[in-house]
Amino acid sequence: MNTSSLAARLLAAAITMAAAAPAVHAADAGSASAPSAQKAGAYIDDSVITAKVKAALVEDKQISSMKIKVSTKDGVVTLKGSVPSAELGQHALQLVAGIEGVRDVKSDLTVKAG
C-alpha cells in the first residue's frame, strides 16, 4: 500500500470518528454520569488527533519511513521511537505541534544512527 493511500484511509477514519463524536456525546448526555460523557468525548477526540498525526507523519517525506508510535491523552501527543538524527526528531515534533487539536507534544524519541 502506498503512503498516500494509507494517509487517505487514516484521514477518512479520523473524519468518520469526528462525525460520530456528537452522536456518542448526545447518547451519553442523557445518563446520570456526566464525567463518563466527557471521557467518551475526550477519547474520541484523542483518537481523531492520533489519526491526524499518523496521517501527517506518513505524508511527510522526511519522516514517513520512520517507525514512530503515536499516543494521545487529553490532546497531549506522545511520539515514541527512534530517528536517525535530532533534527528529524525536532522536525517530527514541530509537524505534530501544528496539527489542529494538539495541545502539547511530548517526545520519547531516541536518536539512533543507521
Secondary structure of residue 54 in the 3-state scheme? helix
Q: Identify the residue with better confidence: 86 or 114.
A: 86
For the chain, what is the domain count? 1
Q: Give the chain's length.
A: 114
- Look-up: residue for cell 506518513? 58
Residue of 63, 54, 39, 51 whose CA lies nearest to 13: 51
Domain that holds residue 74: 3-111
Secondary structure of residue 106 in the 3-state scheme? strand
pTM of the model: 0.65
CA distance 52 to 102: 10
pLDDT at 21 over 90: no
pLDDT tens digit string along 38-85? 666 666 699 999 999 999 999 999 988 788 999 999 999 999 999 999
Average pLDDT for the chain: 79
